A and B are shown apart, each in its own frame.
Chain A
């Protein structure tokens, strides 16, 4: 079983819909990252959080340390949000190294 599980694996939405992507992990962590991989392959960091909630534009990331769960929300989705969203955790005993989920492929149709 992977230490980091994402759901769903694939998600198709209509423009304007509210989107939620989930990430569950099974180990103690010091931080959790959400990343976005564009169709061209480039990877950018969206959020890094260790507690609570962070917001950037239409993106919101939350984490519940007790439940070992994080969610990434996209409000008023747009076709340009179509990408792979990746959850990664920094395991407590692994220093700076990250362990990645498999990613969620999001497609937003106009």
Chain B
């Protein structure tokens, strides 16, 4: 199993450009998450999904959109990139249980620079 993969690994954008980050998991996990990691701050949740066709806002959703058309894929879009979106982006996935909590599995990260 590949686990959680992210595409691309690195990207440089100019202000105003758009792009989509792809996260894929082959573990049949219901839950998927997008985080950003900035220096001096903990990981912050951007958006998450509890199943195919559903998405929800996290802590810092502004400027991002997401879609989960297939269970194994979770896409993060930046419609008009801004320098404040320079960050390292991590995708994660986990199983779901009504009364059980499961660990999250993380992708390798995407380093995005917006100039």
Footprint of B on A, CB under 8 Å?
Answer: 2, 4, 30-31, 33, 35, 41-45, 48, 50, 86, 88, 90, 95-103
A47 to chain B, nearest CB (A): 9
- Give the most central of A35, A48, A98: most B CB within 10 Å: A98
By the criterion CB–CB under 8 Å, are B43 and A96 in contact?
A: no
CA distance A2 to B59 in the complex (A): 13
**Given the known A-B contacts A30-B101, A90-B101, are A4 and B106 also in contact in the complex, defined by CB atoms under 8 Å?**
no
Task: Tell me whether A2 and B42 are in contact (CB under 8 A).
Answer: yes
B97 to chain A, nearest CB (A): 9
Asked whether B42 lies within 8 Å of A103 as measured between CB atoms, the reply is yes
Q: Using CB atoms, name the residue of chain B closest to A43.
A: B106
- Check B109–A98 contact: CB distance below 8 A: no
Further 6 A-B residue pairs, CB within 8 A, beyond A30-B101, A31-B101: A41-B109, A42-B106, A44-B106, A45-B103, A48-B101, A102-B40
A96 to B51, CA, bound (A): 12
Binding site for A on B (CB under 8 A): 31, 33, 40-45, 48, 50, 58, 88, 90, 92, 94, 96, 101-106, 108-109
Nearest Cβ in chain A — how far from B52, in angstroms?
A: 16
Residues of A within 8 A of B102 (CB): 48
Are the C-beta atoms of A98 and B40 separated by less than 8 Å?
Answer: no
Q: A100 near B44 (CB under 8 angstroms)? A: yes
Main SS of the interface on chain A?
strand
Question: Inside 8 A of B33's CB, which chain A residues have their CB?
Answer: 97
Tell me the smallest distance from the CB of B12 to a CB of chain A, in Å: 17
- Are A45 and B105 within 8 A (Cβ)? yes
Contact check, A102 vs B88: say whether CB atoms are below 8 A apart: no
Q: When the two chains form their complex, are residues A43 and B90 in contact, meaning their CB atoms are under 8 A apart? A: yes
- How many whole Å from B20's CB to the nearest CB in chain A? 21
Provide the residues of chain B in CB contact with A30, threshold 8 Å: 101
Nearest A-chain residue to B100, judged by Cβ: A31
Other-chain contact of A102, B41, B90, B96, B106 (Cβ < 8 Å): B41
